[in-house]
Amino acid sequence: MKRMNLNLRQVLMAVVLALPVMSFAQFTDNIQYYRYHDQRGINVFESPKTTDVKFEKLAIRFGAGFTQQFQNLKVKNPDALNNGGTSVATAGANKLFPLTPGFMTAQANLFMDVQLADGIRLDVTTYLSSRHHNEAWVKGGYLQFDKLPFKGKVWDDIMKVTTIKIGHMEINYGDAHFRRPDGGHTFFSPFMEGNIMDAFATEIGGEVYVQKSGLFGMIGITNGMIKGNVDTAVKTVQDENTRKNPSFYFKGGFDKQLTEKVRARVSASYYTNSSNAGSGLTLYGGDRTGSNYQNVMEKWVSGGAANAYTSIAFSGRFNPGFSKKINAFMLNGFFKAYGFEFFGTYETAKGRTKTETSERKANQYAVEGIYRIGKSENLFIGLRYNEVKASLAGYTNDVKVNRFAIAAGWFITKNVMLKGEIVNQNYKDFPAADYRSGGKFNGYVIEASVGF
């Protein structure tokens, strides 16, 4: 969405101008059908269909997520050609960005949740500072209807099990996006990063949910792109199709609290777009904040000059590049018994760019086990393994990327968290001309976060 260049004077002026409106609002937790931004939001997936909050009048809730990290990671790519040099002037094209231990620039999110009417709320999230954009950008916003302002028993009965979301928003493909860090808000992820092949995007559209007795289903339709686009699509030699088709996606599953201490959830998701000749599909490249592994496995030199940090913001991730056509399927399982949690992902995707004539495949799986300790589960330790195998355009053989991580954390309060991770990631079967050939990074990252 549109960039906002803010300074302190503008922020203060906005607050002053908003005070007359705010005086009618309640600065409390009086938001219905809502996922909290603090520790209470952990292991919440779709927004709940039940609420204890009674609507009385307009309620506004501001929240934020702040994250500061210290990184000590080492990188190497011994099998890549032209990877030498000790300065920008002498570095080869495949020389990796040299790293030293240090702090990363802090990231910050701003949340605004507004209860507009009974069962109707507005959600707006702004990235105040991130890896990709150091200035403020609006992530997205949406209206959520858990009730409709129409009189009649038929509408009441429908909305007892139905939720409608409309806006420019984070799409609900798969369950992994509920457990990934998102800019300055990192509470929901026990680890520093989400999956290597990161299915996360904000698109313009709508979703309809039905939830009853532990069963749920969802259908969504969007423009398939990270932003609005009215540009003329350009033909290519390989593909003259210039249609900008919408994306359709579906989700269904089971989520049940079996006993007081045991919960099970299984979900399956499918995302498809048969032709997008606009700015391109971004299911695996829709994040505008960046990775929490800074500058790992990135080229040092680009176009004869050192890379700007913002241009290499997605370090450690793998994007298969399905920008013209895509079909993706994700299966997730979640099980929690007492303090132990298991979360698994299996994903397969197929697609191509507009300069290719045949489709390629990418597969991914991830398994993680978390043990939360204490009455309030304020301490945790976890293990995760994640692997991607994919075909790349112009490459004869499939390539592989795998990651093993050990993490531990402490919720000092429900709003303050400290966590650390030891990580080892490997790149296999990349050709010698690729800068990732024989690539590896390993080390540790420590993170302090605030969320409310």
- Residues 208-245 pLDDT 10s: 999 999 999 999 999 998 888 777 677 887 777 777 89
Which stretch of 177-181, 239-243, 351-355, 362-366 has the lowest confidence by average pLDDT?
Answer: 239-243
Burial 201-227 (b: 16+ CB within 10 A, else e): bbbbbebebebeeeebebebebbbbbb
Give the pLDDT band of residue 268 (cuts 50, 70, 90).
very high
Identify whether 202 is part of a domain. Answer: yes
Identify whether 38 is part of a domain. Answer: yes
The average pLDDT across 259-279 equals: 92
- How confident is the model at residue 265, as a pLDDT? 98
Identify whether 29 is part of a domain. Answer: yes
Burial class (CB in 10 A: 0-12, 13-18, 19+), 270: middle
The average pLDDT across 74-87 equals: 94
- How confident is the model at residue 4, as a pLDDT? 42
Q: How many domains does the chain have?
A: 1
Which stretch of 181-195, 215-229, 306-320, 335-349 has the lowest confidence by average pLDDT?
Answer: 306-320
How many CA atoms within 13 Å lie on the side-chain side of 142?
A: 23
Residues 6+ apart with CB under 8 A from 58: 24, 25, 26, 114, 115, 116
- How confident is the model at residue 342, as a pLDDT? 98
Q: Which residues form the domain of 340?
A: 3-67+105-359
Residues 6+ apart with CB under 8 A from 330: 173, 174, 175, 176, 199, 268, 269, 270, 345, 346, 347
- Checking if the pLDDT of 266 tops 80, the result is yes
Identify whether 364 is part of a domain. Answer: no
Identify whether 421 is part of a domain. Answer: no
Give the pLDDT band of residue 29 (cuts 50, 70, 90).
confident
Identify whether 293 is part of a domain. Answer: yes
This prediction's pTM: 0.90
Give the pLDDT band of residue 12 (cuts 50, 70, 90).
very low
- Checking if the pLDDT of 41 tops 80, the result is yes
Identify whether 214 is part of a domain. Answer: yes
What's the pLDDT tens digit per position in 394-450?
Answer: 899 999 999 999 999 999 999 999 999 999 999 999 999 999 999 999 999 999 999
Query: Cα 310 to the chain's mean position, in Å?
Result: 18
- Checking if the pLDDT of 305 tops 60, the result is no
Identify whether 408 is part of a domain. Answer: no
Compute the mean pLDDT over every residue in the chain, rounded to the nearest whole number: 90
Beta bridge partners of 448: 68, 418
- Checking if the pLDDT of 26 tops 50, the result is no
> Reduced to 3 states, what is the DSSP secondary structure of residue 154?
helix
